[in-house]
Amino acid sequence: MKQHRNVSAEQEALAERNLFAAVAALRTADECRAFFKDLCTPAELQAMADRWAVVDWLKRGVPYREIHKITGVSVTTIGRVARCLADGNGGYALIAKRVRSPRRGGASSGGQPEPVRNSRTEATRNG
């Protein structure tokens, strides 16, 4: 984690709590989109989207290389997400459970997750 020279550990913890409180105050996907686009660089957003894109596939036991072929997400990133699913703080599993829906292909529908279409997979398919 980035260290600030003039900021105490307590101040860092408060800033983190304030950020999480701000995220928790968001009410819609559109509000989240606006906030995260203001807060994050495009690369940071893509990194988070990549991590989230592989959660359903991992929960279904799809091999890393197959997930990579489907999503374009690196095997290293897939492994990081898998470690967090197994030994992390429970955040991925909590939210994956909350957002499951038949339309999305969650476990409750018995369907497969929809293929992720992003610039990486489209470039691979089209080029």
Task: Give the domain ranges of the chain.
Answer: 40-126
* pLDDT value of residue 108: 40
* pLDDT value of residue 126: 42
* Cβ partners under 8 Å of residue 76, min gap 6: none
What pTM, to 2 d.p., does this model score? 0.74
Question: Where are the strands (E) in 1-127, listed by range?
Answer: none
Local confidence pLDDT in tens for the 127 residues of the chain: 566 678 899 999 999 999 999 999 999 999 999 999 999 999 999 999 999 999 999 999 999 999 999 999 999 999 999 999 999 999 999 999 999 754 444 444 444 555 555 545 444 444 4
Report the alpha-carbon distance of residue 119 to residue 62 in Å, rounded: 22
Looking at domain 40-126, its CATH class is mainly alpha
Report the alpha-carbon distance of residue 37 to residue 45 in Å, rounded: 8
Bin 125: left if φ > 0, else alpha if -120 < ψ < 50, else beta: alpha
